[in-house]
């Protein structure tokens, strides 16, 4: 069977979507550091964290699909939040710094990653609402 580029279109679209989400998450990590005033996070660490969380969530999603499990969106958000904040606590405890140059610690890493996740979740909810409104307007 001959495959063409168009047959990969859904995968290309998913790759683009998850890439944008990953970049947004990294940007929200940096923004969270600014909002919390006393934190310094390098772009490198923000991107590595966002990529790692995205990969972990994709592996969980793939596992659920392979196992035939339907995960409700609310449960996905809770699992994503717990995973992101737990990993962020560990990851940023030594990689993010206070303005005084001290390591952030587990509690600071938790605050940073939790705020970044919440900013990403709110953005996702707003985008979902906008897409829903646009879709309804297109059908009228």
Both tokens of 115, joined, read 């705020």
Best CA proximity match to 121, nearest among 90, 87, 92, 85: 85
Domain contains 131? yes
Q: How many domains does the chain have?
A: 1
Domain presence at residue 28: yes
Residue 4 within any structural domain of the chain: no
pTM score, whole prediction: 0.86
Residue 37 domain flag: yes
> In this predicted model, what pLDDT tens digit does every residue of 87-119 receive, in sequence order?
999 999 999 998 888 998 999 999 999 999 999
Q: What is the DSSP string of 4-53?
A: -GGGGHHHHHHHHHHHHHHHHHHHHHHHHHHHTSSEE--HHHHHHHHHHH
Q: Is 3 contained in some domain?
A: no
Parent domain of 90: 10-138
Backbone angle region of 105, left / alpha / beta, with phi > 0 → left and psi within -120 to 50 → alpha: left
pLDDT digits (tens, 9 = 90+) for 40-70: 899 999 999 999 999 998 898 888 889 988 8
């Amino acid at each position: 069977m001959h495959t063409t580029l168009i047959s990969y279109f859904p995968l290309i679209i998913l790759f683009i979507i998850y890439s944008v989400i990953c970049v947004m998450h990294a940007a929200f990590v940096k923004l969270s550091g600014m909002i919390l005033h006393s934190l310094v996070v390098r772009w490198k660490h923000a991107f590595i964290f966002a990529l790692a969380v995205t990969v972990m969530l994709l592996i969980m999603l793939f596992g659920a699909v392979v196992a035939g499990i339907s995960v409700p969106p609310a449960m996905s958000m809770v699992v994503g939040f717990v995973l992101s904040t737990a990993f962020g606590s560990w990851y940023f405890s030594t990689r993010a710094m206070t303005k005084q140059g001290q390591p952030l610690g587990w509690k600071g890493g938790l605050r940073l990653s939790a705020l970044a996740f919440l900013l990403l979740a709110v953005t996702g909810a707003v985008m979902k609402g906008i897409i829903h409104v646009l879709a309804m307007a297109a059908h009228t």
